[in-house]
Amino acid sequence: MATRWGLCGAGKISHDFSIAMKTLPPGDHQIAVIASRSLERATEFAKKHGIPKAYGSYEELANDPDIDIVYLGVLHTEHWRVGLLFLNAGKNVLCEKPFAMNSRQVQDLAAAAKRNNVFLMEAIWSRCFPVHAEVRRLLAEEAVGEVKLVKAYFGSPQLHIPRSVEKELGGGALLDIGVYCLQFVLMVFNGERPESIQATGVLLDSGVDESVVVTMKFSGNRMAFCAFSIAARLPNDAVIAGTKGSIKVLGPMHCPTTLVVNDKETEYPLPKPCLPLNFTNSTGLRYEAEEVRQCLLKGLKESPRMPLADSVLLTEIMDEIRKQVGVVFSQDSQ
């Protein structure tokens, strides 16, 4: 049986997700319905992507019995509210990153998933890429000795994009792209909580972070360094330096196709899209879709590649960075 997907949100990421799905066997994955707050948008999206059903409200999707999993691709300020709607309706959910606006909201979502005995995963698609799987394998066999330092950079000029710069839309570098650097560090250090976090950054007039630098210290004298910005392009790569060598994930590190291990380069090519994409390497969304299918087939309630504990810790670290840099969202006082 194919995994039947319901898409929530008819925006840019749902467009790319739909195109990525077309690179997977139709016997395994099927987008059964698209839901938007505007029926017109949903119908237009359905026509474009060959989706049989369109809804003009999220509630209709929550009440649809013929869906195995909901892909939540709405603005991240909405993740908490809309996520709870689906979880409380007994739906499995793959929620786009960042999971929510702060760790309290993330804990609410995780608790709702547990209470309703449904699957929940934060869509950190990076972790499902073959490059990241190979990184984990190399680390498990200590291919570069003991890891001493992890560096991750992500900079993308996005000051012209409202959702990147406006506080009401959950803007800022940290929540949009910094999350990728931090999740990479947590993956390398197996979801361990850092002993210390030091962050410094600059804010836009809107009160969100434009550029941030973070240093973290982990047990056993291991360090991590992250820099991210929505004002400038950065190398967008990640490096793991060990006592016996190094692993380099070439940019774009959040959706990589090239891995360099001690100067030996390996390519992991992506399938070509059938329509133009909004974001880089988006056909790679196929990997997280397949990860979800495998989890559901096994009856798992979370993904071992991105467990809920990692999502909670990731958001707690982001809360601490925002505190140090001085970014406060209205959701923090609710």
Please name each of the domains of the chain with its CATH number.
3-125 (3.40.50.720), 130-267+308-332 (3.30.360.10)
Say if residue 160's pLDDT is above 90. Answer: yes
pLDDT of residue 8: 98
Quote the CA–CA distance of 184 and 182 in Å, as a whole number. Answer: 5
Average pLDDT of span 43-54: 98
Q: Is the peptide bond before 194 cis (omega within 30 degrees of 0)?
A: no
Bridging pattern class, strands 258-261 and 29-35: unpaired
Say if residue 254's pLDDT is above 90. Answer: yes
Q: Residue 18 has what DSSP assignment?
A: H
Average pLDDT of span 186-196: 98
Instruction: Note the pTM of the prediction, 2 decimals.
Output: 0.97
List, for residues 91-145, the tens digit of each pLDDT value: 999 999 999 999 999 999 999 999 999 999 999 999 999 999 999 999 999 999 9
Average pLDDT of span 268-291: 97
Written as six digits, the tokens of 12 are: 């840019």
Considering the chain, what percentage of its residues have pLDDT values greater than 70? 100
What integer best gives the mean pLDDT of the chain?
Answer: 98
Say if residue 324's pLDDT is above 90. Answer: yes
Quote the CA–CA distance of 50 and 1 in Å, as a whole number. Answer: 19
Quote the CA–CA distance of 282 and 288 in Å, as a whole number. Answer: 11
Say if residue 28's pLDDT is above 90. Answer: yes
Residue 29: pLDDT band by 50, 70, 90 thresholds? very high
Average pLDDT of span 215-222: 98
pLDDT of residue 334: 81
CB atoms within 10 A of CB 271: 12
Say if residue 243's pLDDT is above 90. Answer: yes
pLDDT of residue 9: 98
Looking at this protein, which amino acid is placed at residue 276?
P
pLDDT of residue 6: 98
Among 297, 40, 313, 70, CA closest to 190: 313
pLDDT of residue 137: 98
